[in-house]
Each structure stands twice: as C-alpha cells, then as structure tokens.
Amino acid sequence: MSARPRPLMAALALAAAGSLALGTAPAVSAAPAPKPVTDFPHPDLKKTYDATVKYKSEQRAIDDGFMRTDDCVEDPELGGMGYHYVNPANLGSTDPTKPAAMLYEEDHKTGKRELVAVEWVVPDPNGNLPRPRLFGRGFDGPFDFEPVGRHYSLHAWIFKKNPKGVFTPYNPRVHCTPCAEGHPKA
C-alpha cells in the first residue's frame, strides 16, 4: 500500500469521529443564560427574592396591590432609588417575604420599567417605636416623608447590583432620566 492513502484514511477517520462527536455535543446557544442571584449577604434574602421575583412583571405587581407611581426618586450625589410601587397592606411589615414597595427603573432600550430592588417601610407616626430590624440589621431612619409621614425603611438591591451595598438606600447605577420622546412606554 502506498503512503498516499494513509493520510486520506486518517482524514476520513478524523472527519467521521468529528461528525459523531457533533451529533452528541450539546447545542450551543447564542448567549449564556444570566446567572441567578445567589450572593445574598443574609440567608433570608433568598426568601425575599423567591417571593418577589414574580414582580419582574410590572403588571403582576399592580395586580397584587402595588400601586404604580410616576415619581422617580434620585439624589444627584447618591444615585437613585427609582419608581416606588407601594402595597398599603404591607406597610409595617418586617416579614422578609412582604416588602411594602417594589422599586423599578425605566429601561431606555425598551421603555419598560425593570424591577431593581425592594423596600420595607415601617410607619412611626408618634416617634415611639424602637428601630425595626430585619436581616440582622436596623432599618434606616426615621425619615419624614409625605404621604407616609415619619417612618423607618430598609432597601434590598436584589435585582440590580448596588456597588455601595445591598442595603444602601441609593444606588449610583439607578437614574431617573426620562426616556426619549417617541419611545414605547410600559
């Protein structure tokens, strides 16, 4: 047998092995799936995430009693909080699965609002409540802000990373700049 057929045979064998491997290889997707949020600084935040992830759908939050607002909270030096959707039934809750507010930010590519954080709000109209605690930490405040009045609050940035920390009230990555005119609105 001459030396010529051997490289041809080797190439055919390699091609056959490659085609067999392709038949059993897993499909390749265009983009990897986003990683689930798992780096919670307190284990009960996983309960919060599981209870509120459904509110990535703004309509689902509204259907479940969270009232939509068109006022976006932002501090020029600290960053933003976004649009607060408040469920009056959850005011005063320190249950990890029942935050009083869902916080949304407008996505300028789609014009829709995206869930970025959750917030607990405990009213203290008489100024005699001890500082509420959740996730091993005290709430921020007290603050005086209408229409809630004197209250304590605790934010948890579990849907959009906050470089200042999960429980910091303002996120420097959240902004209230309105989308350009003619953009579809949620």
Percent of the chain exceeding pLDDT 70 equals: 75
- First-to-last alpha carbon distance for the chain, in angstroms, is 74
3-class secondary structure, 4: coil
pLDDT exceeds 70 at position 31 = no
As a whole number, mean pLDDT of residues 134-159 equals: 94
For the chain, the average pLDDT equals 81
Residue of higher predicted confidence among 13 and 62 = 62
Asked whether residue 6 carries a pLDDT value surpassing 60, the answer given is no
Domain ranges of the chain: 44-156
Q: With beta carbons less than 8 A apart as the criterion, state whether 104 and 83 touch.
A: yes
Contacts of 95-100 with CB under 8 Å at 24 or more apart are 96/44, 96/45, 96/47, 96/48, 96/51, 96/134, 96/135, 97/47, 97/48, 97/50, 97/51, 97/52, 98/51, 99/48, 99/52, 99/156
For residue 148, is pLDDT > 80? Answer: yes
Cβ contacts of 41 within 8 Å, gap of 6 or more = 135, 166, 167
Name the pLDDT band for 30 (thresholds 50, 70, 90). Answer: very low
Q: What percent of the chain has pLDDT over 90?
A: 66
Q: What is the pLDDT of residue 91?
A: 96
pLDDT value of position 33: 39
- The pTM score is 0.77
